[in-house]
Chains A and B, each alone.
Chain A
Amino acid sequence: MNRQTLWRKELKPGGKWSGVIGRGRLVRFTARGAGANLAALLYNADHPEERYNMPDTLKAQHTARLTKGHVLMSDNGRVLASIVEDTLGWHDPLGALTTRGMTDRKYGRTTFQDRRNDWLKNGLDNAVTELVRHGLGPRDLVPPVNFFSKVRCDAADGRLHFVSGHAPAGASVALRTEMNVLLVLSNTPHPLDPAGTYPSVPVEVEVAPAEPVDPATDVCVNLRDENRRAFENTWEYFSLGRDLG
């Protein structure tokens, strides 16, 4: 298991990043403090009109939380990325991105003029800026996965409760890219986090080559029949598109 790190970057609190990560990479997020939240949006880098589909992902796997074994599915029934490592057991797919208005109301209004680069960024502006960088825009927004956050749902009435203290310092989760993925990241608070102070937790992103997928034993392929069929759709896609020369 000698995985050579190809690239490493620390996202400061409020920070954002986007880029294309080729198929077969391991992308590990590590919280450098307690109470992190990292919002992630995923697209097929080669054809971004194919993108992460939250409902398809959740209903196929009968889950409203994401952890090791789960996969992030596209709207074309394929696997964009698999969750292959996780120290937490729960990452939230139901929360949204924060907005400028929400951030101002909760933590107090900040501007670049007043605070320079310590002003408090919001998830929606971060995500849209990065989407525009790739020729996309607001219409391409998808629900984020809010890594490191847990939101519990009441059985009777569906009320949502943010679970404070869920992610300790050092918590980590790793994705394996199953397609060439355009990844958009925003290190901004979870919208339902009741904390009155803006969480200031850096998150480290690290990319390394992934071990090859063994369809017979892989935990994500074999989690349920639905996952295997989504992988079959993905393998079919690459089989049809591969250069035969």
Chain B
Amino acid sequence: MTDFVRKESARREEDAVCDAVIPAGEGWMEDLEPGQVLRIVDLDGNQAVDTLFYDAGHPEDRYSAVRTIASQGGLYLTTGSVLLAESGKPLVTIVADTCGRHDTLGGACSAQSNTVRYGHETFHMHNCRDTFMRLLAARSGFGKRDLGPNVNFFMNVPVTPDGTLTFADGVSGPGRYVEMRAETRVTVLISNCPQLNNPCNAYNPTPIRLLVWDR
């Protein structure tokens, strides 16, 4: 029996102050004010949404996957998970989640890691790390050093008790969403993953929808 914690949100789409559709292979980099809530909707199901968070007032302090999982004593992110920066500062809290489990071990694909995982012939293919770097370059003060292990919303990367890392089939579905509340002023960096070599998205990257509420 696999534990999934699913929680719906009462927020209404018509109240959102931002509503955007991000196609696969594209990204989004925006700030959230404290208390604002971001919803990511997996429009067609089993998409991977690679996401990083920065303390907007102190961007050297970014989301830390290992600090977050050590703090909560568990690998998976869902409702109630507090996503922490390297310093231990809370950046966002997941407040609703109709998928029930999100990964933070799988990282973001790159041309280089694609050559390792799938073969040298995949080098030309578009990837999340390129989207991240293009968006970081557009904001002053950010660069490649600001990339660290990210969250993969809607991805399922279970670890077995004997220490094997597996890539399981997607656990999401069309219209599933996750919502997170900013605990401080937070810069959010998203790449909607263009990976074509991984069965977890059925080799079919699809658009996501982003909604932001003031509370």
- Interface residues in A57-105 (C-beta closer than 8 Å to B): 58-65, 73, 75-78, 90, 94-96, 99, 101-102
Interface size in chain B (residues, C-beta < 8 A)? 53
CB-based contact B70/A96 at 8 Å: yes
CB distance from B82 to the nearest CB of A (A): 14
Give Cα A221–Cα B76 distance, bound, in whole angstroms.
31
Indicate which residue in A53, A62, A78, A191 contacts B164 across the interface (CB closer than 8 Å). Answer: A62
Please, which residues of chain A bring their CB within 8 A of the CB of B60?
137-139
CB-based contact B66/A160 at 8 Å: no
Please, which residues of chain A bring their CB within 8 A of the CB of B61?
138
Q: Give 1 or 0 for each of A22-53: 1 = CB within 8 Å of chain B CB.
A: 00000000000000000000000000010001
CB-based contact B75/A160 at 8 Å: yes
CB distance from B93 to the nearest CB of A (A): 18
CB-based contact A158/B159 at 8 Å: yes
Please, which residues of chain B bring their CB within 8 A of the CB of A144?
66
Please, which residues of chain B bring their CB within 8 A of the CB of A233?
112, 115-116
Indicate which residue in B76, B116, B117, B145 contacts A158 across the interface (CB closer than 8 Å). Answer: B76
Indicate which residue in A59, A76, A141 contacts B165 across the interface (CB closer than 8 Å). Answer: A59
CB-based contact B165/A139 at 8 Å: no
Give Cα A233–Cα B157 distance, bound, in whole angstroms.
26
CB-based contact B105/A58 at 8 Å: yes
Give Cα A141–Cα B64 distance, bound, in whole angstroms.
9
Indicate which residue in A94, A141, A155 contacts B160 across the interface (CB closer than 8 Å). Answer: A155
Give Cα A90–Cα B101 distance, bound, in whole angstroms.
26
Asked if B166 is at the interface (CB within 8 A of a chain A CB), the reply is: yes
Residue of A nearest to B62 (CB): A139
Please, which residues of chain B bring their CB within 8 A of the CB of A142?
148
CB distance from A131 to the nearest CB of B (A): 11
Contacts A55-B105, A94-B69; is A229 near B149 (CB within 8 Å)?
Answer: no
Give Cα A159–Cα B60 distance, bound, in whole angstroms.
29
Chain A: interface size category: 35 or more
Asked if A153 is at the interface (CB within 8 A of a chain B CB), the reply is: yes
CB-based contact B158/A158 at 8 Å: yes
Q: Give 1 or 0 for each of B78-94: 1 = CB within 8 Å of chain A CB.
A: 00000000111000000
Q: Give 1 or 0 for each of A113-148: 1 = CB within 8 Å of chain B CB.
A: 000000000001000000000001111111110000
Contacts A63-B165, A157-B76; is A53 near B116 (CB within 8 Å)?
Answer: no
Give Cα A154–Cα B74 distance, bound, in whole angstroms.
9
CB-based contact A226/B64 at 8 Å: no
Contacts A60-B117, A96-B64, A157-B74; is A54 near B149 (CB within 8 Å)?
Answer: yes
CB-based contact A56/B113 at 8 Å: yes
Residue of B nearest to A101 (CB): B88
CB-based contact A159/B161 at 8 Å: no
Asked if B23 is at the interface (CB within 8 A of a chain A CB), the reply is: no
Residue of A nearest to B114 (CB): A77
Residue of B nearest to A140 (CB): B145
CB-based contact A64/B120 at 8 Å: no
- Interface residues in B29-84 (C-beta closer than 8 Å to A): 59-62, 64-67, 69-70, 73-76
Enumerate 26 A-B pairs (CB-CB under 8 Å) in ascending A order.
A53-B113, A53-B149, A54-B105, A56-B110, A56-B113, A58-B105, A59-B165, A61-B165, A62-B165, A64-B105, A64-B165, A75-B112, A75-B129, A95-B66, A95-B70, A138-B60, A139-B59, A141-B64, A142-B148, A143-B64, A157-B76, A192-B70, A229-B115, A229-B116, A230-B116, A233-B115
